């Protein structure tokens, strides 16, 4: 946190130690014959840093202006929001030959079903606000 006479900056850091998910092993694995409890594994941890800056200035007469700049995910970190149940990672899956043989589409590949951009948090985002106070 840094403040001057008519400007300031604030940084906010977030840490998530990883939320639970249910691991489901492959049918060929010995683990598939064991009754596993739900929420038996954890997703990778996530971190994020946000920054907010402002600058205030005087306009004509009794009017004042303010410019705000907010940067979300300042470090542009690629955090995994949800993961595949068999691998525990986003954008990865165990693809079998039967999966590829059963996929019929003229528009996409089988890997497009696995590579979902919604699995990751949003990239760096800027917001600029301009205001006039009177």
**pLDDT tens-digit profile of 109-130?**
888 888 888 899 999 999 999 9
Tell me, yes or no, whether 89 lies in a domain.
yes
Asked if residue 22 belongs to a domain, the reply is no
Residue 27 reports pLDDT greater than 80: no
- pTM here is 0.75
Asked if the structure places residue 78 within a domain, the reply is yes
Look at residue 39 and tell me if it is in a domain.
no
**Per the structure, how many domains does the chain have?**
1
**Bridge partners for 10 per DSSP:** 52
Q: Please give the pLDDT value at position 99.
A: 86
Residue 67 pLDDT: 98
Q: Which residue has the tokens 């993961």?
A: 83
Question: Looking at the domain assignment, is residue 35 inside a domain?
Answer: no
pLDDT tens digits for 71-115? 999 999 999 998 888 888 888 888 888 888 888 888 988 888 888
Query: 104: domain range?
Result: 2-12+47-133
Greater confidence (4 vs 81) lies with 81
């Amino acid at each position: 946190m840094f403040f001057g006479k008519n400007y300031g900056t604030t940084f906010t850091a977030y840490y998530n130690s990883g939320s639970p998910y249910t691991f489901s092993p492959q049918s060929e694995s010995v683990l598939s014959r064991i009754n596993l409890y739900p929420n038996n594994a954890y997703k990778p941890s996530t971190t994020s840093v946000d920054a907010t800056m402002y600058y205030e200035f005087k306009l004509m007469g009794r009017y004042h202006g303010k410019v705000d700049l907010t940067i979300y995910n300042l470090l542009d970190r690629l955090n995994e929001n949800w993961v595949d149940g068999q691998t525990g990672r986003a954008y990865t899956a165990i693809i079998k030959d039967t999966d590829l043989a059963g996929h019929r589409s003229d528009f996409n590949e089988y890997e497009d079903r696995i590579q979902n951009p919604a699995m990751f948090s949003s990239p760096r985002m800027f917001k600029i606000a301009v205001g006039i106070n009177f």
